[in-house]
Chains A and B, each alone.
Chain A
Amino acid sequence: MPQMTLVQAINNALDTEMARDERVVCLGEDVGLNGGVFRVTEGLQKKYGPDRVIDTPLSESGIMGSSIGLAMAGQRPIPEIQFEGFMGPAYDQLVNHAARFRNRTRGAITVPLTVRVPWGGGIHAPEFHSDSPEAIYVHNPGLKVLCPCTPYDAKGMLLSAIRDPDPVIFFEPKRVYRSFREEVPEGDYTVPIGKAKVVAEGTDVTVISWGAMVFQCLEALDGLPEDLSVELIDLRTIHPLDFDTICESVTKTGRAVIVQEAPKTCSMASELSAILMEKCFLHLQAPVQRVCGFDTVMPYAKLELQYLPDAPRIAEAIKQVVAY
């Protein structure tokens, strides 16, 4: 089985689905000849031609809005927004249109599109190239929000996303794009939407994370005392959430730490914390803790590593929750 980076696995998923389904088209800024600024679409225009891998004008609203039209008329568009910080102009089309067509037409019109978005910090990129806005799209009904962080999951989940009948946002953690390789099957396989993954099993405390932060959590776990038994959950999909896996784990451990890059207030961590309160209250042995980005604007590169949660910050919270 070939070893692939996250970039290669996503590229391979696009290739797999474009070969299988000729309704699939990729479109966005610089995705064609240049293969995308992260090279995720590398080689696809050469293979499938400029009518299926399309360099668009520089317009996120144009990319998103016309993708909606493509989907309404039976294509399977995969728009790319070059960086999460440029979702702004696409926001109205995505949230107010893609997400609502099914409901407002009582199912008569649907929008099966998958928007790919390089996401998150940690790569010393310029301003507006490092944010973590995922919760905004969870808060707005009608979208599915995927945040896989391993090559295997990314390929399988992207294939699920493209085949899903509803609009999906597929966030790709830039920091992980080339950070490691793992075995990824060449052919067709899927990983289901809405299923979390238990990365490490444990009994004392549950750590819940997604995206690039999963690897910071793993690093934190490495530094903890041997006799501390930590269960680590990678959510993989943040909407719809896998309530069963989360609640089973916290019911077992009685303690939870949620780790995310995004600012703390009104975030996914807030939602998860509320869910645990509602569903696991009688099993909790300590207040649920959130290790997050600060409630500040994502700083430029010089300070970004002080902003992002790291292993020591995560380990400290885990120890305090366990000692409570």
Chain B
Amino acid sequence: MPIRKVYENSIEFVQVMDEQGVIDERLGKDLLSDEQITFLYEKMVEYRRLDEIAFTLQRSGRMYTYPQNKGQEAAALGSGFALRKGVDWLVPCYRENGALFLHGLPPELIFLHWMGDERGNAIPAGVNVTPIAIPIGTQMLHATGMAWAFKQRKEDRVVCTYFGDGATSEGDFHEAMNFATTFKVPCIFFCQNNQWAISVPREQQMASETVAQKGFAYGARSIQVDGNDLLAVYKVTLEARERARAGEGPTIIEAVTYRLGDHTTADDARRYRDSEEVAAWAQKDPMIRLRKYLEGKGLWNDAKQQVVEDRAKAFCSEIVKKSEGIAKPDVNDMFDYLYAEMPEELRRQKETLRTHSLGQDPSQAGLRSSAASAR
């Protein structure tokens, strides 16, 4: 047979809870308890409100640029909940705050970061989260290396790295996937495909029909999931985690979701996308879906919602207070964290807050007077 097929594969799309909040009996069986779903719904409300507060802070000049997470909370919370707090590691970009908070990251740190303060990256020991990654795609290789270290040391830890659809165009994504699969490291590649990379829609970003299929090129397990379905996200992340722990290597998860807000507060999405598209996705808001489920089960009502909203309000004002209450950083902070041991010239710059040397360097003053007398 001169021509034969040497490779074939296909991508599965997983949904557990449909848009009406109805759970598939088989897939949803024993996945999450109603208490857990309620807990995650309440977190979703809190974090959504916090996201909205960040936006208003920026608009009133109390925060610099901020990228809203709105609409993508199920992807963040579902995946974060499937990973072991204090054991597994999260290596994020900037649109999965909920996952980071679930793993113990103090929310005021995220606020501080976007207020232009490096202390927002000073993550407390014991919180297994790396700082926000601004240069797109770079963090995936760090995640790969971390997972590799855990494999080398035979530690039972999994790393999950987050990135967007646009990030899969960077070389770093492909290099990370190739390393991770070649060395079979316990790393999960979690793509939040929110359909847009600033103004570029997914179809213009790539010719591949799915993001997930890119994983096949590297021999990764590759799956697509309804990213606005918290249960489905939880399920596929849990499976990926267990595969990684069993030494079966990386999984790439493409969570199909939507960025309901602008790219950041510096962006105006009305310039490049239809309001009908946004309105259609707003109907699929993960928060609406979870609430429908809870209501259908008789577990939720307006009174309970009010309690959660009140709690969210208090939570938000506490975070605002903490992030705004901190004194301005000391100018020395620029110098103090660059090296374990400060080089001499840097110490001089720090002490004088100048880079020119006249007026501070006594040896030059001496030379001047002797030069003058010689003249």
Contact = CB atoms under 8 A, between A and B. Distances in A.
Interface of A: 29-30, 32-35, 37, 55, 57-62, 85-86, 88-89, 124-129, 257, 264-265, 286-287, 289-297, 299-304, 306-307, 309, 313, 316-317, 320-321, 324
Contact of B169 (A33, A62, A296): A62
Contact of A61 (B135, B171, B338, B345): B171
B69 interface: no
Nearest to A123: B64
B356 A317 contact: yes
Given A33-B272, A34-B198, A57 B354 contact: no
Contacts of B329: 302-303
Given A127-B134, A296-B335, A296-B338, A59 B169 contact: yes
Q: 8 nearest interchain CB pairs?
A: A301-B116, A34-B199, A57-B169, A58-B166, A289-B356, A320-B358, A300-B116, A317-B356
B178 interface: no
Given A29-B198, A290-B355, A292-B355, A301 B205 contact: no
Contacts of B136: 58, 86
Categorize the interface residue count of chain B: 35 or more
A59 B197 CA distance: 12
A33 B358 contact: no
B359 interface: yes
A294 B115 contact: no
Given A294-B335, A301-B64, A321-B358, A128 B200 contact: no
Nearest to A293: B355
A43 to B, nearest CB: 12
A201 to B, nearest CB: 23
Contacts of B328: 302
Given A33-B271, A294-B355, A126 B134 contact: yes
B248 interface: no
Contact of A33 (B114, B199, B355, B359): B199
A220 to B, nearest CB: 13
A115 B356 CA distance: 32
B117 A58 contact: no
Contact of B334 (A286, A303, A320): A303
A66 to B, nearest CB: 12
Given A57-B205, A128-B134, A320-B356, A302 B117 contact: yes
Contacts of A313: 354
A37 B349 contact: no
A106 to B, nearest CB: 30
Contact of B358 (A34, A296, A324): A324
21 contacts: A29-B198, A29-B200, A33-B272, A37-B266, A55-B200, A57-B205, A58-B170, A58-B205, A85-B135, A86-B136, A124-B64, A127-B134, A287-B357, A290-B356, A296-B349, A302-B116, A302-B328, A302-B329, A313-B354, A321-B358, A324-B368
A100 to B, nearest CB: 20
Contacts of A307: 334
Contacts of A320: 356, 358-359
Contacts of A295: 343, 345-346, 349, 355
A61 B167 CA distance: 13
A264 B113 CA distance: 26
